[in-house]
């Protein structure tokens, strides 16, 4: 059997990782400023994470959601404390798309409506409703194009107001820092007005923190920079450092109903043990603060260099913490490929001309400086 060939691949096979570094099958080392697409939160092969996963799988990897799972309860408790949403409820699944799918479903059970408002350039995943809320017609199959979603511009409240005043919108779903959309940031004023409108019109506000959350922005959640509490928060990627897991954090105003949501694998013992180890490491190593400090350094240094004319082709540097977009006036393809092939640094990208940095949250100042120097070399 052949693989179903949907991914354009670099000709590199990664074999092992440690911290912010990975090695290919020929022994070549790379600095990882991509984190396998914002997934590696606490660093590759962290010993505490390895030990937690290994000892759990040796004991019990999985049992179903039909019995008590104390690890799930512990995770809910610990996550609530870590992010400041202690009175919210946690529903666990296996991926980001599933988190959004369940959040939208729960919103619809709550207010009985079916319309969704989403941002232009949004990415929310590839399952039925999540992909419909994704502003990319190329990945919405005819079977998913069911007319539930209206896409509206970022930081321009009037069109949102006009739609919300119709009193028929089920949910607003929003990434406070758009990832795939090119590191575009929602303003505090816009989000506050949006929240007030949602409240006034019984619309559920969902913050998709799958990429920008879990410490990446330099606060636990990116919306926490903006002073607004959403009704639901979706998480995945960094929650278990590469083991597939997602979650929906649900405000107390939603009451659980037996059987309304469910999953076979979600919240399994192995994933919970990994996610608890991730929280241990985030806390003991101060990774949220590290993301803020190292991210600020990268953004301010690149911005200064851009203004001084030392970074040809760079026209904008934006982001928060370790979620950074570097916009070029040329396609990203050549500099990004040279970073990998010549300087052995992985980065992400978006659109045609944005280089995206999504490293593990343990990136050191030294590693950040290595990137800055080598990026300058590639652009020179």
Ligand X SMILES: Cc1ncc(COP(=O)(O)O)c(C=O)c1O
Residues that bind ligand X (CB under 6 A): 95-97, 100, 123-125, 175, 179-180, 208, 210-211, 236
Work out how close the CB of 357 gets to ligand X at its nearest, in angstroms, rounded to a whole number.
14
Work out how close the CB of 119 gets to ligand X at its nearest, in angstroms, rounded to a whole number.
11
Cα angle vertex 30, ends 24, 33, to 5°?
Answer: 125
Buried b (16+ CB within 10 A) or exposed e, 245-269: bbbbbbbeebeeeeeebebebbbbb
Work out how close the CB of 282 gets to ligand X at its nearest, in angstroms, rounded to a whole number.
19
Is the CB of residue 258 less than 8 Å from the CB of residue 181? no
Whichever of 17 and 179 has its CB closer to ligand X, that residue is 179
Work out how close the CB of 307 gets to ligand X at its nearest, in angstroms, rounded to a whole number.
30
Is the CB of residue 93 less than 8 Å from the CB of residue 99? yes
Whichever of 176 and 294 has its CB closer to ligand X, that residue is 176
Whichever of 18 and 263 has its CB closer to ligand X, that residue is 263
218 phi and psi angles, rounded to 5 deg:
95, 0
Work out how close the CB of 374 gets to ligand X at its nearest, in angstroms, rounded to a whole number.
26
Whichever of 242 and 295 has its CB closer to ligand X, that residue is 242
Nearest to 373 by CA among 343, 332, 347: 343
Work out how close the CB of 126 gets to ligand X at its nearest, in angstroms, rounded to a whole number.
6
Whichever of 95 and 268 has its CB closer to ligand X, that residue is 95
Work out how close the CB of 28 gets to ligand X at its nearest, in angstroms, rounded to a whole number.
26
Work out how close the CB of 127 gets to ligand X at its nearest, in angstroms, rounded to a whole number.
7
Residue nearest to ligand X (CB): 96
Whichever of 236 and 298 has its CB closer to ligand X, that residue is 236
Using the Cα atoms of residue 188, residue 124, residue 258 and residue 93 in order, give the sign of their dihedral: negative
Whichever of 21 and 124 has its CB closer to ligand X, that residue is 124
Label the pairing between strands 169-174 and 204-208: parallel
Beta strands in the chain (DSSP E): 14-18, 21-24, 29-32, 89-93, 115-119, 149-152, 169-174, 177-178, 184-185, 204-208, 232-235, 246-250, 314-320, 323-328, 345-346, 348-350, 354-357
- The DSSP result for 248-311, as a single string, is EEE-TTSPP-TTSS--SSTT-HHHHHHHHHHHHHHHHTTHHHHHHHHHHHHHHHHHHHHHTT-S
Whichever of 39 and 306 has its CB closer to ligand X, that residue is 39
């Amino acid at each position: 059997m052949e693989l179903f060939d949907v991914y354009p691949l670099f000709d590199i096979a990664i074999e092992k990782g440690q911290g912010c570094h990975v090695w290919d099958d020929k022994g070549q080392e790379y600095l990882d400023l991509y984190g396998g697409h914002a997934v590696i939160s606490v660093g590759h092969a962290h010993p505490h994470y390895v030990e937690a996963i290994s000892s759990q799988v040796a004991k019990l990897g999985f049992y179903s959601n039909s019995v008590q799972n104390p690890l799930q309860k512990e995770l809910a408790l610990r996550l609530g404390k870590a992010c400041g949403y202690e009175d919210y409820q946690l529903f666990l699944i296996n991926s980001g798309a599933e988190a959004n799918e369940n959040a939208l479903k729960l919103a619809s059970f709550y207010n009985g409506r079916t319309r969704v408002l989403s941002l232009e350039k949004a990415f929310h995943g590839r399952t039925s409703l999540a992909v419909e809320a994704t502003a990319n017609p190329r990945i919405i199959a005819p079977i998913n194009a069911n007319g539930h979603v209206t896409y509206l511009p970022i930081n321009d409240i009037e069109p949102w107001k006009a739609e919300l005043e119709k009193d028929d919108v089920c949910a607003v779903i929003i990434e406070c820092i758009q990832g795939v959309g090119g590191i575009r940031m929602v303003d505090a004023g816009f989000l506050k007005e949006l929240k007030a409108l949602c409240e006034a019109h019984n619309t559920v506000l969902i913050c998709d923190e799958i990429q920008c959350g879990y410490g990446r922005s330099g606060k636990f959640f990116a919306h926490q920079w903006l002073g607004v509490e959403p009704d639901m928060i979706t998480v995945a990627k960094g929650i278990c450092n590469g083991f597939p897991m997602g979650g929906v954090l649900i405000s107390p105003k939603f009451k659980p109903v037996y059987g309304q949501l469910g999953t076979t694998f979600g919240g399994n013992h192995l994933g919970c043990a990994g996610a608890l180890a991730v929280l241990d490491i985030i806390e003991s190593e101060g990774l949220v603060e590290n993301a803020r400090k190292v991210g600020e350094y990268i953004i301010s240094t690149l911005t200064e260099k851009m203004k001084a004319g030392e970074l040809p082709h760079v026209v904008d540097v934006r982001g928060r913490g370790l979620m950074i977009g570097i916009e070029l006036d040329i396609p990203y393809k050549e500099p990004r490929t040279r970073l990998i092939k010549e300087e052995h640094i992985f980065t992400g990208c978006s659109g045609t001309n944005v280089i995206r940095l999504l490293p593990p949250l343990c990136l050191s100042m030294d590693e950040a400086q290595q990137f800055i120097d080598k990026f300058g070399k590639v652009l020179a």
